[in-house]
Structure 1
Amino acid sequence: MPRGTVNASWRKPVGMLAILALILVWVVIVASFSAWIAALPGVVQLLLYVVLGVVWIAPLKPMLRWMETGVWRD
């Protein structure tokens, strides 16, 4: 293969669709608990939404690694 050519991979589009699906599922899960969360004090709501807003990022590292290398783990 000549230098500078790019070999397209099917993993990137599939990975992007999986990431979008992950975000959609996470939003639906969190939104389904919104009535329960609304009953909590404001500070607890803030902390809970911050934690829930960060937790969905955890599965992204292996997903991005798979998209680039085809391997889930190091």
Structure 2
Amino acid sequence: MTQRNRKLIGAFLIVASIVAWSVLATSIYLALPEGLPGLVLILYFIIAAMGWLLPAMWLVRWMARPDAERRAG
């Protein structure tokens, strides 16, 4: 697979992972009990906001991998 194809696929996968992660994070937030202190909510939102970074970093690393050398003949 060429780097160009990996970048195209990776771009779609990153957008899909952001959407999926936001749905998951919102579902978890709605399941939290009411009346939590503001500091707990801030910590939750920080963790939830950074949670999609690990899959995105893996995808970007995969997308940036150079093409394999093609053998002649």
The alignment's TM-score, normalised by the length of structure 2, stands at 0.74
For structure 1, which runs of at least 5 residues remain unmatched after alignment?
A: 1-6
Q: Secondary structure of the residue that 2:17 maps to in structure 1?
A: helix
Q: Deviations over 1:8-56 (max 9, x none)?
A: 7111110000000000000000111222336222110011111111121
Residue aligning to 2:41? 45
Query: Structure 1 stretches (4+) deviating beyond 4 angstroms?
Result: none
Q: Which one has more relative contact order, counting CA pairs under 8 Å at least 6 apart? A: 2
Count of aligned positions:
65
TM-score by length of 1: 0.73
Change (3 A) 1:8 1:61: closer
The letter of the residue matching 1:68 is A
Greater helix share, structure number = 2
